[in-house]
Amino acid sequence: MWRLASIWLAVRTVGWSRSVMAAGSRSCTTHRCFGRPVRVRWAKRIWRCAEPSCPRGTWTEDHSYAAPRAKLTSRATRWAVEALRHDDTTVSAIARHLGVAWDTCWAAVKTAATARIAEPHRVKGVKTIGVDEHIWRPSKVSSTDKAVTVMVDLTRDQHGCPHARLLDAVQGRSGQVYADWLVEQGIEVTVTVEHAALDPFRGYANAILPDAVAVLDAFHVVKLAGNALDEVRRRVQQATRGRRGHKDDPLYRIRRTLLTGTEHLTDRQRQRLAKYLPVGDPHGEVEVAWSVYQQVRSIYHTGSPAEGRRIAEKVLDTLHTCPIAEIKRLGKTLRRWREEILAYFTTGGVSNGGTEAINGVIEKTRRLAHGFRNFTNYRTRILLAADGTRPYRRPQINPEPC
């Protein structure tokens, strides 16, 4: 493959002194100029101490232009770090632009990124934390180290809009992992967290700070109802046809339509429901499950929090008495999370939506890298990509209230 020749740039610091004994040279790389890689040849001074009893005698000058023994200049390292934060690029692409090897580029980026991630102010001022799980390394079913717990800052700004940013990712999916992370962050995080948005995993709820209000994520509540509807549909399908659904079966033809909110149904979809639901559901079980699903959805789609809370309390008080086994099980599950579900209406609608958005950024980073084998490198990359500083994540001028 043909490549442009590098530009060589000779530099040295100004102001020579009589104490300079000699000058050495050092080469490093800075970012491109005129579309070509740039190599820097730095004439470095070797200093001599005038004190005869000095145990060291001589030493080489240091400068912020490039760290000691670094292969990239500070400017090139900053450019590489910013590219990974904002441009959805890869280390290989950055190394190609700089004209260096992958490991040379990553060594410089990793050092700078680790120092940035370790800054204590990253976890200050957190009022709302979102917690969720993520699979960082798809592997065998028996693997125990493929899941990570991600903590996301969901604190709202002065306009009431959340601007999610990734706080950290730790290996494991358990309440103990989350509790250990909270302890490691110190007292300042502990005393400022007011709300915590969770998926329905009791381990996270047990690790919640004593003064924080746990809120069950609205998406996961609706997903539980959708799963119950699917289970009823599949059971009725097996009971009436003796097999799983085929494309021409009535219930299979409307499986997606059943999961659509009533306010979004078109006239054609309503006609399909009216045509196929009575045929495929002779005892009305799927229709009952569908009405329950729509009722759970309506909790979060009402015009006022008071109306949503009224529907939620009705659902929590009645579903566990339903004779349909799947709906009864759903009702019992929701009753176990009663306080966390109702807390949605006392916290201004805290949800894990921002956390799921960060999960999307994390997944994109993993795809760009074609997967990771090293968790430390994975954590560094996602903390750079999902730190909440991208321009489209920042509020625009005079934003509308969320």
> In this structure, what token pair is assigned to residue 107?
């060594």
Predicted confidence at residue 213, as pLDDT, reads 75
**Segment among 79-83, 206-210, 304-308 with least mean pLDDT:** 206-210
Rg (CA), the chain: 29
Dump pLDDT digits (tens) for 230-281.
999 999 999 999 999 898 999 999 999 999 999 999 999 999 999 999 999 9
Contact 359, 131 (CB under 8 A): no
β-pairing verdict for 128-135 and 58-60? unpaired
How far does the chain reach from its first CA to its final CA, in angstroms?
52
Element housing 375 (H / E)? helix 375-385
Dump pLDDT digits (tens) for 78-88.
999 999 998 88
Contact 65, 58 (CB under 8 A): no
Threshold 0.85, pTM exceeds = no
Q: Is the pLDDT of residue 158 over 50?
A: yes
% of the chain at pLDDT higher than 70: 83
Q: Which of 339, 333, 365, 338 is nearest to 148 (CA)?
A: 365
Question: How far from the centroid of its chain's Cα atoms is residue 244's Cα?
Answer: 36
Q: Is the pLDDT of residue 17 over 80?
A: no
Predicted confidence at residue 250, as pLDDT, reads 93
Predicted confidence at residue 37, as pLDDT, reads 79
**pLDDT average, residue stretch 51-56:** 82
Q: Indicate the domain borders of the chain.
A: 7-117, 123-216+354-393, 218-345
Q: How far apart are CA 290 and CA 327, in angstroms?
A: 10
Specify the CATH class of 123-216+354-393 in words: alpha beta
Contact 289, 233 (CB under 8 A): yes
Predicted confidence at residue 397, as pLDDT, reads 47
The SS3 assignment for 183 reads helix
Predicted confidence at residue 401, as pLDDT, reads 46
| pLDDT higher at 160 or 203 | 160
Q: Which of 155, 161, 163 is nearest to 398 (CA)?
A: 161
Contact 358, 152 (CB under 8 A): yes
| pLDDT higher at 53 or 224 | 224
Contact 199, 390 (CB under 8 A): no
- Name the band, by pLDDT with cuts 50, 70 and 90, for residue 122: confident
Q: How far apart are CA 204 and CA 213, in angstroms?
A: 12
Contact 37, 99 (CB under 8 A): yes
**pLDDT average, residue stretch 342-363:** 86
**Segment among 158-162, 300-304, 371-375 with least mean pLDDT:** 158-162
Contact 249, 237 (CB under 8 A): yes
Element housing 329 (H / E)? helix 325-336
The chain-wide mean pLDDT, for the chain, equals: 82
Most confident region among 117-131, 169-183, 219-233 by mean pLDDT: 219-233
